[in-house]
Structure 1
Amino acid sequence: MAERDSPIYDRLARVPERDWRGAGGIDAVSDGAHEPFVLRGLVEDWPLVAAGRRSAQAARRYLLDHARDRAFTVSIGPPGHDGRLFYDADMAMNFRSGTGKLGDIFAGIDKGEELGDIRTVYLASIDIPAHFEGLDEANPVDLGTRDPLKSIWIGTRTRIAAHNDYPDNLACCAVGRRRFTLFPPDQFRNLYLGPIDNTPAGRAVSMVDFAAPDLAAYPRFVDAMAHAQTVELDPGDAIFIPSMWWHHVEGLADFNILVNYWWRRTPAWLGQPQEALNHAILAIRDLPEEDRAIWRDLFEHYVFGADESVTDHIPEAARSILAPLTPESAGRLRAFLLRTLSR
């Protein structure tokens, strides 16, 4: 893997650490948090962490003991791949994706280690309950009343371009080492984002190569780095990444496992903001400038600046979706949108 060779990395701020062992545990330190922080040793007692400390092979055997008999999606880089899962020169993906049994995928990694020819192999965002039996129960995290999505990320040395996620994220380093470089949500302009509909993994990513940033092509990246925080996690450590924070993630060991938990602060029946952005591009962005100005004003009125003045003049029982949404009204709105979008 290429080293980061730019002086802009010399004096990065560190992600702060928090003590999670007091009253309330993770709940107390993460509830309402809008800044990232590190939880050292959070999962150091996991059997998966213990297996990884013995060897990478022991960690893989441990996972195989829990794996369900089903296909796993895997991304594989060509010979000479540097671990950066990204675009090629034609803006297609620089890796191929396929499916296979976990034992066969791990056998390929074993062979590469034996021959000293470790290819880029990456299993990303694998749903734990769907693909493993008993793994979650044997390696628990107490998240209180939250009901998170639980995913595992398995791979050789990788570099994952800076991206963000809508849910809050607790990411636990189980095997190997991870480096995170994080940016506040407002730094998206300085990260030079790529397409939002053609992405390596479903989210728009920074076009900057963090290993060797081209500051002539991406000069504002210097401004992004002035707001960045970084940290390296050892096995057993975890990091909390708030909603919409940008994060560049590197697997630093020859074999790495990360387990993460995603949860929303809003009800699951609310829509996804990214879908609204996509629809706005379809319906509004290419309108004449004077029309866009009208719609900008309407969005401010009904969405971003919505207050009682929007509905005070409407009988309460007749406010429909202008009233605070409920599961029922959200369902009706979703059904209406599906009908209109399918025309």
Structure 2
Amino acid sequence: MAEADPGLLRALPAVPEIRVADAADLDRRLRGADRPFVVRGLVADWPLVEAGRRSGKDAREYLLRHHKPVPFTVSVGTEGNDGRLFYDAAMGMNFRTFRGKLPEIFAHIDSAETVTNAPPIYLASINVRDFFTGLHEANHVDLGDRSALASIWVGTRTRIAAHNDIPHNLACVAVGRRRFTLFPREQFRNLYLGPIDNTPAGRAISMVDFHHPDFSAHPRFREALANAQAVEMGPGDALYIPAMWWHHVEGLEPFNILLNYWWRQTPRWMGQPQDALNHALMAIRDLPSDEKQHWRELFEYYVFGDDDQVVAHIPEGGRSILDPLTAESAARLRAYLLRQLSR
């Protein structure tokens, strides 16, 4: 039987908090960090934060003054799920996705803000520069020379299952409150991940209901919790989440806004590791065991190893993609892969 204990997450160790003096100090902290940290009040002076302190409606009106007249994608869940956007019993989604103009979406949020157990309404990962004019310029974090993607997340009370992201992430609460529960990368085995391809938002998610964990069905989740950290954040607070760390996210107030920044420390021309995993599932996983073991050894030799013997016997200038990749050699490899995959 599931154990209902929403307070379980509040008893976890807290994410460490730091202070930063200025943008240069933040840059230094980010470059040296391999674990999450919180900066209280980092964006407390944003106009959006100030509007949200007055009311959720003031925050929505602030966004409407900056929005572009283009369709926005919005997810609308079902009643009685405690705001959880997840799978339904048939492993479809327990929410529907619509396209609409932002004033119309906000009108629905206006009417739902005071309704108990209203269906969750959620606008996820909206590109700030593509969908708003002047919002980024008035509300942003100086991240130095990082080429960061700025996204905004707007919604009512929601629960987003634990997942991870390939880029590094600086998440800034602008309106409302959010609770993050974080797990190191290696805890993926203890989070009971769902499908890779059929996901609510493009990344595999934990199948564990964090408010009602069923330890008989998911016994290793206890080990995940033993390695977890949690933090509750208010307007102006920021959280750094290193690449590939797992995070469960809750919007705690009737109306919540978060802005986040994603960046990678690898060149843009490098491929996505998830694509390589997906291809390996198709090409390697179901091979006979002896062949699969041989491919494991080849991956160790060519991909995961760091041994000069891989190229020492090949003349310089003739090593092709076995040399460190460049934008040009990556482009050639990508073109080759596309030709192979299109057969």
Q: TM-score range by the shorter chain?
A: over 0.9
After alignment, is 7-16 or 282-291 more displaced? 7-16
The answer for the alignment partner of 2:110 in structure 1 is 110
Is the 1:72–1:101 contact (alpha carbons within 8 Å) kept by the matching residues of 2?
yes
Q: Secondary structure at the match of 2:332?
A: helix
Equivalent runs, 1:204-243 vs 2, <5 Å: 204-243=204-243
After alignment, is 299-308 or 17-26 more displaced? 17-26
Is the 1:194–1:204 contact (alpha carbons within 8 Å) kept by the matching residues of 2?
yes
Residues 256-309 of structure 1: per-residue CA shift (max 9 Å, x gap): 000000000111110000000000000000000000110000000000013221
Q: Which amino acid aligns with 2:47?
A: P
Q: Secondary structure at the match of 1:28?
A: helix
Q: Secondary structure at the match of 1:262?
A: strand
Q: Measure the CA separation in 2 of the matches of 1:85 and 1:101.
A: 22
Deviation at 1:165, TM superposition (A): 0.4
The answer for the alignment partner of 2:193 in structure 1 is 193
Is the 1:18–1:29 contact (alpha carbons within 8 Å) kept by the matching residues of 2?
no
Which sections of structure 2, spanning at least 5 residues, go unmatched?
none
Is the 1:177–1:235 contact (alpha carbons within 8 Å) kept by the matching residues of 2?
yes
The answer for the alignment partner of 2:292 in structure 1 is 292
Q: In the superposition, relative to structure 1, how do residues 9 and 258 fare at CA in structure 2: closer, same or farther (>3 Å)?
A: closer
Q: What TM-score, normalized to structure 2?
A: 0.97
Is the 2:23–2:143 contact (alpha carbons within 8 Å) kept by the matching residues of 1?
no
Task: Give the total of aligned pairs.
Answer: 341
Residues 69-111 of structure 1: per-residue CA shift (max 9 Å, x gap): 0000000012334210000000000000010000000001112
The answer for the alignment partner of 2:47 in structure 1 is 47
The answer for the alignment partner of 2:263 in structure 1 is 263
The answer for the alignment partner of 1:18 in structure 2 is 18
Deviation at 1:140, TM superposition (A): 1.9
Q: Measure the CA separation in 2 of the matches of 1:178 and 1:115.
A: 20
Q: Measure the CA separation in 2 of the matches of 1:114 and 1:253.
A: 11
Q: Secondary structure at the match of 2:250?
A: strand
The answer for the alignment partner of 2:277 in structure 1 is 277
Q: In the superposition, relative to structure 1, how do residues 105 and 8 fare at CA in structure 2: closer, same or farther (>3 Å)?
A: closer
Q: Secondary structure at the match of 2:201?
A: coil
User: What is the aligned-residue RMSD (CA, Å)?
Assistant: 1.5
Q: Measure the CA separation in 2 of the matches of 1:124 and 1:23.
A: 27
Is the 1:75–1:98 contact (alpha carbons within 8 Å) kept by the matching residues of 2?
yes
Q: Secondary structure at the match of 2:270?
A: coil
Q: Which amino acid aligns with 1:292?
A: K
The answer for the alignment partner of 1:159 in structure 2 is 159
Q: Secondary structure at the match of 2:284?
A: helix
Q: Measure the CA separation in 1 of the matches of 2:228 and 2:214.
A: 17
Residues 216-253 of structure 1: per-residue CA shift (max 9 Å, x gap): 10000000000000000010000000000000000000
The answer for the alignment partner of 2:327 in structure 1 is 327
Q: Measure the CA separation in 2 of the matches of 1:4 and 1:128.
A: 37
Is the 2:9–2:230 contact (alpha carbons within 8 Å) kept by the matching residues of 1?
no
Q: Which amino acid aligns with 2:54?
A: R
Residues 289-331 of structure 1: per-residue CA shift (max 9 Å, x gap): 0001100000000000132211010011000000000000000
Deviation at 1:118, TM superposition (A): 3.4
Deviation at 1:4, TM superposition (A): 6.4
Is the 2:176–2:253 contact (alpha carbons within 8 Å) kept by the matching residues of 1?
yes
Q: What TM-score, normalized to structure 1?
A: 0.97
Is the 1:6–1:213 contact (alpha carbons within 8 Å) kept by the matching residues of 2?
no
Q: Measure the CA separation in 1 of the matches of 2:17 and 2:124.
A: 26
Deviation at 1:10, TM superposition (A): 6.1
Q: In the superposition, relative to structure 1, how do residues 207 and 280 fare at CA in structure 2: closer, same or farther (>3 Å)?
A: same
Using the aligned pairs only, state the percent identity: 65
The answer for the alignment partner of 1:301 in structure 2 is 301
After alignment, is 13-22 or 130-139 more displaced? 13-22
Q: Measure the CA separation in 2 of the matches of 1:15 and 1:115.
A: 32
Deviation at 1:11, TM superposition (A): 3.7
